[in-house]
Amino acid sequence: MEEKLKNLLKALKINETTISTVMGAVVVLIVGILMFNYFKSINPDEGLITETAKVIEVTEGEKPEYLPDTYKVEKGDHLWGIAEKFYKSGYNFTDIAEANSIVDPNSIEVGQELIIPQVAVKKITVESDSALVNTIESDTYTTVAGDYLWDIAVRAYGDGFAWTNIYQANKALIGSNPGLLYKGVTLSLPR
């Protein structure tokens, strides 16, 4: 009996790499099956509002009445925020970047003096198939499971980037993480 056990252990030792490879493949296969079943069980349409955009259009509004010639970058500034400050539209960050020959919009430094171009306000509008999107027409909205500020902004304003307006108006309710919305919270939607 002892001899048979020694022979079995010797055979296992010789084939150790093959056995390890087969066992690893079995583990990967089992994990793959479990992941497939998990994702298959999730209903992708449950609680989601799908949107198909027909047209995304950049339009120019009026030029703001007063725009300074220059602006000195302060701590915490970024081009989108600076454009919001002067144009009330973050989309004008491209105009500021172009006027200052900034290749990387994320690379501005405190104390840097930026030229503020005298241009019209840029707005982006999205025309959607309204049959597929539940638009929000009221000044308030009560969150449901699976809501995100971006989706609420698209439904309320037709512009996902307007999520920052919703967040600023409801910061006390939402908290410090705008990516985390609880179900049943009534948000005010600034119009």
Answer whether 0.85 is exceeded by the pTM: no
Q: What is the pLDDT of residues 106-123, one digit of tens each?
A: 889 999 999 999 898 887
Report the distance separating Cα 169 and Cα 174, nearest Å: 10
Domain assignment of residue 53, yes or no: no
pLDDT at position 56 = 53
157 part of a folded domain: yes
Which of 95, 120, 145 terminates a domain? The answer is 120
Evaluate whether residue 77 is within a structural domain: yes
CATH code of residue 160: 3.10.350.10
pLDDT band at 53 (very low <50, low <70, confident <90, very high): very low
Q: Residue 47 domain-assigned?
A: no
Residue 9 included in any domain = yes
Same domain for 79 and 102, yes or no, is yes
Residues 73, 30 within the same domain:
no
Reading phi first (left if > 0) and then psi (alpha if -120 to 50, else beta), residue 189 is in beta
Task: Give a yes or no: residue 114 inside a domain.
Answer: yes
Instruction: Please give the C-alpha separations between residue 50 and each of 28, 43, 68, 155, 178, in angstroms, as whole numbers.
Output: 34, 13, 42, 11, 21
* Domain carrying residue 184: 134-188
Asked, for residue 78, whether it belongs to a domain, the answer is yes
Residue 56 lies in a domain: no
Same domain, 116 and 151: no
3-state secondary structure 116-130: CCCCCCEEEEEEECC
187, β-bridge pairs: 141
Question: What average pLDDT does range 41-66 have in this prediction?
Answer: 59
**Number of separate domains in the chain:** 3
The helix/strand/coil state of 182 is coil
